Amino acid sequence: MNLVDPDKYRLPVRYGPEMRILVVGGGIAGLTLTGLLQQRGFKPTLVEQIPEYGTIGYVIVLWPSGSRILKGLGVYRSLLDVGLQFTTYNVSDERGQMLHSYSVQNVIEKYGPMLSTYRPDLINVIKEAVDPDSIRMSTTVDKIDQTNDEVYVTFSDGTEETYDLVVGCDGVRSKTRDLVFGDVPLSYSGMTGWSFWVKPNIAKTLQIAEYWGTGKFFGIWPTKGRLSVFTSIRDNVQEPDPVESRIDRIQENFKNFGGLVPAILEGLNDPNEIFHGYYNDLRMKKWHKGRVVLVGDAAHAILPTAGGGVSMAMESAAVLVDELCRADSKYIEQAFESYITRRRSRVDKIQNQSRMMSKFAFADSRLVSSMRDFLMRFYSNKLHVRYWDSMLKEPI
């Protein structure tokens, strides 16, 4: 005979917006997720490690599949105010000879504008939809423990709280992931590079211009009133990049490039204003463990070559919120599984695409890059539109 009532010690079930949610990381995914949750009556807490939002980041191109999430958040008009709609994408060889100029006009007519934004502007736009009182700046998580029913979190300021679920949106080097999933290695692409701003008097273009060399890439990305450069070179061993000789290295690597590149290289003067990074992506078998789930780069960082990381982070945030609306604290893992099922194949596809594009755009043998340049002449605008169709027409 069973004398213990199994329900006696169970915690009360919390339904939908009643659930206690912690979001770690207030970047693109974290703010989008928090804003969408609040819109639906949830009361999440968001912790962000930096003391204040500043000027971190360069130009981000938002796909219509990402930016339409801001329509639902009610901040799309603000995005249009700060974004630059680009219509043309020019690819040249390293000497500056145009391989192809692609119009994205047909893509825009079908799916909406392709907008390039200054990352801090995009952050400010999404922040408009988030209750400032729900954000704890200068705060991170130091400890995360969980049982079948709850998650216990210790914050960097020593305080402790209990949640029904925790969402890790803390980027490619996620601490939430480290604390809960252990060491999950990033996949290094063999590419490293520099990003920096170009003074508008040095080069003017309102369209994306890319120069493809042998194992080297130089991309010029404009947004409203600003021009950023994103470069990449092959570097299999992750060479160190001392700041004091950074400009010399960039100039040496791209000295044979033509078009707008020589003028831009000439104008480089402050190595401290140049960002250097090693490009990684991340593939994880599981994006959740118990009551902790990952979103955005923390779960599925994507190489910058496809230019889809931000849109994927926003799409994933929107899908998770959608699932949480129909969830409760008891069956939360079911909601996580549905979120992952809905997102997995699309994210895999974009990750594969970005890996393939990196092999193509950064081809490191002279023979392969010559063949690529030759083939680019036959990669028509029609094929380019078909590529975008395959990226944008499927449901998120």
Ligand X SMILES: Cc1cc2nc3c(=O)[nH]c(=O)nc-3n(C[C@H](O)[C@H](O)[C@H](O)COP(=O)(O)OP(=O)(O)OC[C@H]3O[C@@H](n4cnc5c(N)ncnc54)[C@H](O)[C@@H]3O)c2cc1C
Question: Which residues of the chain form contacts with ligand X (CB under 6 A)?
Answer: 24-30, 47-50, 60-61, 140, 169-171, 175, 195, 230, 277, 296-298, 302, 304, 307-311, 313
Q: What order of strands is seen across the sheet that includes strand 115-118?
A: 59-62, 115-118, 84-85
Question: Residue 15 Cβ, how far from ligand X at the closest point, in Å?
Answer: 27
Torsions phi, psi for 299 (to 5 deg):
-100, -40
- Residue 222 vs 308, nearer CB to ligand X: 308
Question: Residue 366 Cβ, how far from ligand X at the closest point, in Å?
Answer: 26
- Residue 305 vs 329, nearer CB to ligand X: 305
- Residue 170 vs 373, nearer CB to ligand X: 170
What's the rounded Cα separation, in Å, for the pair 71 and 68? 5
Question: Residue 178 Cβ, how far from ligand X at the closest point, in Å?
Answer: 9
Q: Specify whether the CB–CB gap between 290 and 146 falls below 8 A.
A: yes
Question: Residue 275 Cβ, how far from ligand X at the closest point, in Å?
Answer: 7
What's the rounded Cα separation, in Å, for the pair 181 and 262? 46
- Residue 258 vs 280, nearer CB to ligand X: 280
- Residue 299 vs 332, nearer CB to ligand X: 299
Question: Residue 308 Cβ, how far from ligand X at the closest point, in Å?
Answer: 5
Question: Residue 174 Cβ, how far from ligand X at the closest point, in Å?
Answer: 7
- Residue 44 vs 171, nearer CB to ligand X: 171
- Residue 45 vs 195, nearer CB to ligand X: 195
Torsions phi, psi for 259 (to 5 deg):
60, -135
- Residue 45 vs 214, nearer CB to ligand X: 45
Question: Residue 295 Cβ, how far from ligand X at the closest point, in Å?
Answer: 7
Q: Specify whether the CB–CB gap between 103 and 223 falls below 8 A.
A: no
Question: Residue 225 Cβ, how far from ligand X at the closest point, in Å?
Answer: 17
- Residue 191 vs 268, nearer CB to ligand X: 191
Q: 3: which 2 tokens?
A: 């004398």
Question: Residue 361 Cβ, how far from ligand X at the closest point, in Å?
Answer: 14
What's the rounded Cα separation, in Å, for the pair 77 and 146? 41
